[in-house]
Structure 1
Amino acid sequence: MLTPCILVCSLDENTGYCLGCGRTGAEIGAWISYSDDERRAVMETLPARMTKLAPRPGEDIGPSQQTQERSAV
């Protein structure tokens, strides 16, 4: 079955998107019942959703975000 799951299952409090794959909790729960076309349609939206999430541990972040993090300390 086609799936974007990377076994990092935790929903972001602000967006409701999974931090690992970008799906919503409802999409994750219904995934097995979706047709291949429905799965592909959701998967097309995931890259844009993932840009709205904070970087995952170990992910490289850009200089502007590094500056924001340092000033918050």
Structure 2
Amino acid sequence: MTTTPDIRTPLDLAFTIERAKTQQPVGSPCTDVCKLDADTGLCLGCFRSRGEIKTFRAMDDAAKLALFDELLARRAAITK
């Protein structure tokens, strides 16, 4: 019997943010990349810092929604 490894295709950040906004409480913007960039210290998928990832669950919904706008701005600035 052959098993296929669980390989996930990274999700688009805009998609994960829109999905997270529909969840109660507001969900995670994780894109299944989960790797921090050595230069920026930001996740290569969701553009959160280590601290933001660590404290995300404790944030209230308003703070999460505000962070989502910042994440999209970070992605735009980095991927220019």
Q: CA deviation at 1:18?
A: 0.4
| Aligned equivalents of 1:2, 1:53: Cα separation in 2 | 24
1:44 paired with 2:60, answer: no
2:15 alignment counterpart:
none
1:24 paired with 2:41, answer: no
8 Å CA contact 1:11, 1:17 repeated in 2: yes
2:35 alignment counterpart:
10
Runs of 4+ with deviation above 3 angstroms: none
8 Å CA contact 1:19, 1:53 repeated in 2: no
- What is the number of equivalent residue pairs in this alignment? 54
Q: Which one-letter code corresponds to 1:16 in the other structure?
A: G
1:64 alignment counterpart:
none
Amino-acid identity (%) = 37
Q: CA deviation at 1:53?
A: 5.0
TM-score (norm 1): 0.66
| Runs of 5+ unmatched residues, structure 1 | 55-73
TM-score (norm 2): 0.61
The counterpart of 1:33, out of the listed 58, 63, 71, is 58
| Runs of 5+ unmatched residues, structure 2 | 1-25
Q: Give the alignment's Cα RMSD to 1 decimal.
A: 1.6
Larger radius of gyration: 1
